[in-house]
């Protein structure tokens, strides 16, 4: 068996987001898509974080996160198990009371927002509320959709978090909602200081051909031996 495994890292992010109540800028050069319109019409107002040229301003800052990762691939169970030591450097001018973690594998859980809010449109996209009942109903589902639903039913998906601890192995409080996890810090993290977290987790790998994900495993025939091969990526 040939194995090629790529683990999508869990990543902390912290950033300043600016919003504007102004209406969307209307392109003035015609109906075509102007690739350079942002240079003439949509360039944001300069501020202390970004100057008029888009370069970092005097108050610009960017967070830094360092990872030490130990990962094990269980080929037979098609499962990833990992341990991470994460060092988070707070370069912002603010004290941080908590950190956010992205759990992208949770998107495929049966109770995820993505799965619960998906809309069934039939094989050709023609199904609507008006034709899914009565004698004239013609709602159909494709074999690919059936395969996807069967895989999601037969497998437990999403991250299973075994432990979240600080540098002294003391448990940290965390809250998971969908694909987001908030980790509460025991004390606020000041400017120019760092904190260390330990996270133990595991998850079952997706079958890419069934689910249509961006990462997972797939089967393909091997003429040199029986049984074929499984590739992880």
| pLDDT tens sequence across 90-129 | 999 999 999 999 998 888 887 777 766 676 665 555 556 5
- Number of domains forming the structure of the chain: 1
- What's the pLDDT at 2? 35
Domain of 75 in residue numbering reads as 62-232
In a domain, 202, yes or no: yes
Percent of the chain, pLDDT > 90? Answer: 35
Higher local confidence (pLDDT), 95 or 16: 95
Per-residue confidence at 197, pLDDT binned at 50, 70, 90?
Answer: very high
The encoded tokens of residue 81 equal 């198990």
Summary mean pLDDT of the chain: 77
Instruction: Please give the pLDDT value at position 156.
Output: 87
27: in domain:
no
From residue 152, alpha-carbon distances to 84, 145, 146, 159 in Å are 27, 11, 10, 14
pTM of the model: 0.67
Residue whose C-alpha is closest to residue 107's, from 98, 99, 115: 115
pLDDT of residue 43 exceeding 70? no
How much is the pLDDT for 218?
Answer: 73
pLDDT in tens, 59-75: 999 999 999 999 999 98
- Asked if residue 105 belongs to a domain, the reply is yes
Is 97 contained in some domain?
Answer: yes
Kindly state the average pLDDT of the residues 209-224.
71
Mean pLDDT of 14-34: 51
DSSP one-letter string for 56-108: B-TT----EEEEEEEEEEETTTTEEEEEEEEEEEE-SSS-EEEEEEE-GGGGG
Q: Is residue 24 part of a domain?
A: no
Would you say residue 137 lies in a domain? Answer: yes
Domain harbouring 207, CATH code: 2.60.40
Rounded Cα–Cα distance for residues 233 and 73 (Å): 11
Q: What is the pLDDT of residue 52?
A: 79
In a domain, 43, yes or no: no
Q: For 164-178, how does the pLDDT look when each residue is reduced to its tens digit (9 = 90+)?
A: 999 999 999 999 998
Is the confidence at residue 205, as pLDDT, over 50? yes
Name the residue with higher pLDDT: 86 or 2: 86
Torsion sign over Cα 120, 123, 124, 128: negative
| Domain contains 9 | no
pLDDT: which is higher, 219 or 208: 208
């Amino acid at each position: 068996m040939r194995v090629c495994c790529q683990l999508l890292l869990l990543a902390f992010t912290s950033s300043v987001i600016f919003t504007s109540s102004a209406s969307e800028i209307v392109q003035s050069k015609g109906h075509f898509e102007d690739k350079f319109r942002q240079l003439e019409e949509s360039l944001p107002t300069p501020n202390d974080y970004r100057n008029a040229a888009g370069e970092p301003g005097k108050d610009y800052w960017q967070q830094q996160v360092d990872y030490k990762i130990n990962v094990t691939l269980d080929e037979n169970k098609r499962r990833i198990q990992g341990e991470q030591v994460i060092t988070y450097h707070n370069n912002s001018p603010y004290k941080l009371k908590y950190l956010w973690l992205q759990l992208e594998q949770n998107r495929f859980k049966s109770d995820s927002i993505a799965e619960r809010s998906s809309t069934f449109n039939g094989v050709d996209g023609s199904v609507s509320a008006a034709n899914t009942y009565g004698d004239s109903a013609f709602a159909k589902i494709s074999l690919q959709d059936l395969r996807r639903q069967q895989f999601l039913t037969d497998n437990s998906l999403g991250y299973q978090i075994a432990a979240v601890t600080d540098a002294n192995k003391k448990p940290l409080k965390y809250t998971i909602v969908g694909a987001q996890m908030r980790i509460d810090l025991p004390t606020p993290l000041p400017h120019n200081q760092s904190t260390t977290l330990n996270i133990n987790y595991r998850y079952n790998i997706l079958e890419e051909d069934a689910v249509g994900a961006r990462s997972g495993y797939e089967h393909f025939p091997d003429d040199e031996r029986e049984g074929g091969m499984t590739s992880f990526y």
